Copies of this chain bind each other. A is one copy, B any other.
């Protein structure tokens, strides 16, 4: 596996120009900046599969089995990479902006579900509300409220929607004392929650990255509710729009990722810094 190096300024400008052309539906734009060797597979992917170590863990065996080399380019917007003709295969959250349009415009194959990552409930090491004993996020929210503890809002669309859903289901109002929105998000939300001895929800992998960099007394206390999971899917750029795409190698990689053996490996994976299962196979949904 090879992590693509950051592009220089001119390549970035070229990318931008290319994206501009695409918005005018000029398919002539879909030329790659670099032709792939037939044994290379260029994987454009959202951040967490790479940041967590999951891809390194899964791809080593693929490379050993097939002799292919996977060039991983992680990005907040893997579809921009694909639209510029620089990907043979894409892994992204199913609900990510860009996925629906890429498929609906006819650029990508039918999205096959591959795995889910997840958010977690984080709190003070001593867990004053004992959320780690909960059997659902709903129960954890009630434990926080009933033990006069606080959940700090982490201002992120997905987390806000999840918080609203689970509080609605549990009959807890977000106007109650147990919930406070201080306008913070991400690492800042963790720091504020730590200061307040409060709980907070965040993506498991960003939190583990934060934990590795900062001294914190905050820990992952609850993870086992399927509502915390968010599914990712595989799509492959279609060769009729992206003639230089390495379809053969990309298909091989897709088949490998969806195989029973690889799906089972996903279950066994543990990210550095946590013994919680944070990745879930999703191939059964296809």
CB within 8 Å of B: which residues of A?
93-95, 100, 103-104, 110, 113, 135, 138, 158, 161-162, 164-166, 168-169, 224, 226-227, 229-231, 260-261, 263-264, 267-268, 280-281, 284-286
Contacts and interface: CB of A to CB of B under 8 A. Distances in A.
Contacts of A166: 264
Nearest to A168: B264
Given A138-B267, A165-B260, A264-B165, A285 B231 contact: yes
A178 B103 CA distance: 44
User: Could you say how many copies of this chain the assembly holds?
Assistant: 2
Contacts of A226: 226, 229, 280
A120 to B, nearest CB: 15
Contacts of A260: 161, 164-165, 168
A117 to B, nearest CB: 12
22 contacts: A94-B113, A94-B285, A94-B286, A95-B284, A95-B285, A100-B110, A103-B110, A104-B110, A113-B231, A135-B224, A165-B264, A165-B281, A165-B284, A166-B264, A168-B260, A169-B264, A169-B267, A169-B268, A226-B229, A227-B284, A230-B285, A231-B285
A264 B167 CA distance: 9
A284 B230 contact: yes
A110 B61 CA distance: 34
Contact of A227 (B162, B224, B280): B280
Contacts of A227: 280-281, 284
Contacts of A164: 260
A260 B227 CA distance: 13
Contacts of A284: 95, 158, 161-162, 165, 227, 230
A286 B96 CA distance: 8
B261 A168 contact: yes
The residue among A135, A168, A224, A261 with the most chain B CB atoms within 10 A of its own CB is: A168
